[in-house]
């Protein structure tokens, strides 16, 4: 089996520059294109119509545009189980659709596409106030999770400076979350309930990688107490590199399968989960190796220098 011999102190700055460059690109695209929020986060109305045979999206878009004055987005999807095709219309924010306008839209679509058997499949409305409250609660849940992560890592690795290990692990976790968020911006994905699931999954995955590395650092610090802390970290990370690569590749293959299925069947719900998850998993593996470990070494060297 191949053995790595990488000096991670020298790779920290390039890795940091790459991450910051990605975040800058994401910030620029966010300023230009904005953020596409699901109605659960922004409020609005989402209506789905089932139909048969083939239906051109551009024709349906024209009918909706001529029927209602509200700002909307429209897409098509197919149920994975069965052959139900749906036309999904979303009106975000304060652009809620009244019952009268909804009936008018249904009638217009059924008239235009007589042979497609258009029927109302699902309708859901969320007020902006409730959506804002839900979004705030979701953010609070993620913050609480991050705090618990810091406490857990700090307690488990208290023999090698628990708080410093916990805080550097938290930095890596923040990077992973920002990568997932930037992915949604770059790929113009809607920020929906899937994003919360993605973030919590990435937190657990990245934390697991970081704990494996810290556990090896703790063991090697005891066995090689005469070595400089940077050498101990390099030795520890190099010994688990193969394990991290194999675990990450295996997981990504599974997630990429979901991406392919989502793209093939036009399942936007799976797409908003699988794509940011893929990039988040890659970041989780990279950040635990090239960010949290080297950053912890920098902190320990600073404390040692200050003590002298």
Q: Domain holding 250: CATH number?
A: 1.20.1640.10
Q: What is the pLDDT of residue 98?
A: 73
Domain span including residue 248: 8-36+130-307
Distance, in Å, from the CA atom of 304 to the CA atom of 308, rounded to the nearest integer, reads 6
pLDDT at 296 over 80: yes
Q: Is residue 1 situated within a structural domain?
A: no
pLDDT at 81 over 60: no
Among 257, 307, 303, smallest CA distance to 80 is for: 257
pLDDT at 249 over 70: yes
Instruction: Examine the domain organization and report whether 13 and 156 are in the same domain.
Output: yes
Q: What is the pLDDT of residue 1?
A: 47
Radius of gyration of the chain, Cα coordinates, nearest whole angstrom: 24
C-alpha triplet 21, 191, 188: angle, nearest 5°: 55
Instruction: Examine the domain organization and report whether 147 and 54 are in the same domain.
Output: no
Q: Is residue 107 situated within a structural domain?
A: yes
Distance, in Å, from the CA atom of 109 to the CA atom of 195, rounded to the nearest integer, reads 32
> Mean pLDDT for the chain?
84
Among 89, 88, 85, 80, smallest CA distance to 52 is for: 85
How many domains does the chain fold into? 2
Instruction: Examine the domain organization and report whether 190 and 300 are in the same domain.
Output: yes
pLDDT at 209 over 50: yes
Q: What is the pLDDT of residue 110?
A: 92
Instruction: Examine the domain organization and report whether 78 and 138 are in the same domain.
Output: no
Q: What does pTM read for this prediction?
A: 0.82
Q: Is residue 113 situated within a structural domain?
A: yes
Q: Is residue 3 situated within a structural domain?
A: no
Instruction: Examine the domain organization and report whether 97 and 238 are in the same domain.
Output: no
153-180: buried (b, 16+ CB within 10 Å) or exposed (e) per residue? bbebbeebbbebbbbbbbebbebbbbbb
Distance, in Å, from the CA atom of 132 to the CA atom of 41, rounded to the nearest integer, reads 6
């Amino acid at each position: 089996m191949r053995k790595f011999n990488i000096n991670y102190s020298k790779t920290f700055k390039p890795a940091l520059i790459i991450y910051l460059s990605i975040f800058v690109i994401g910030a620029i695209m966010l300023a230009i294109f904005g953020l596409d929020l699901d109605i659960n986060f922004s409020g609005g109305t989402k209506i789905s119509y089932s139909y048969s045979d083939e239906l051109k999206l551009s024709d349906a878009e024209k009918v909706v545009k001529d029927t209602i004055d509200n700002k909307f987005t429209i897409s098509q999807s197919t149920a994975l189980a069965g052959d139900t095709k749906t036309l999904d219309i979303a009106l975000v924010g304060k652009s809620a659709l009244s019952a009268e306008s909804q009936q008018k839209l249904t009638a217009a679509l059924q008239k235009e596409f007589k042979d497609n058997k258009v029927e109302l499949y699902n309708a859901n409305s969320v007020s902006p106030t409730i959506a804002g409250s839900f979004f705030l609660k979701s953010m609070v849940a993620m913050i609480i999770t991050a705090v618990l992560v810091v406490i857990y890592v700090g307690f488990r690795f208290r023999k090698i400076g628990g708080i410093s290990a916990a805080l550097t692990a938290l930095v890596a976790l923040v990077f992973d979350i920002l990568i997932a968020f930037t992915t949604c911006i770059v790929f113009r994905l809607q920020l929906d309930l899937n994003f919360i699931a993605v973030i919590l999954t990435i937190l657990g995955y990245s934390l697991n990688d970081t704990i494996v590395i810290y556990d090896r650092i703790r063991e090697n610090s005891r066995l090689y107490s005469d070595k400089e802390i940077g050498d101990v970290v390099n030795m520890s990370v190099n010994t688990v590199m193969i394990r991290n690569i194999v675990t990450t590749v295996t997981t990504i293959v599974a997630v990429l399968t979901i991406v392919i299925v989502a793209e093939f069947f036009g399942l936007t719900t799976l797409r908003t989960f699988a794509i940011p998850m893929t990039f988040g998993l890659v970041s989780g593996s990279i950040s635990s190796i090239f960010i949290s470990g080297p950053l912890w070494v920098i902190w320990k060297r600073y404390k040692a220098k200050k003590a002298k």
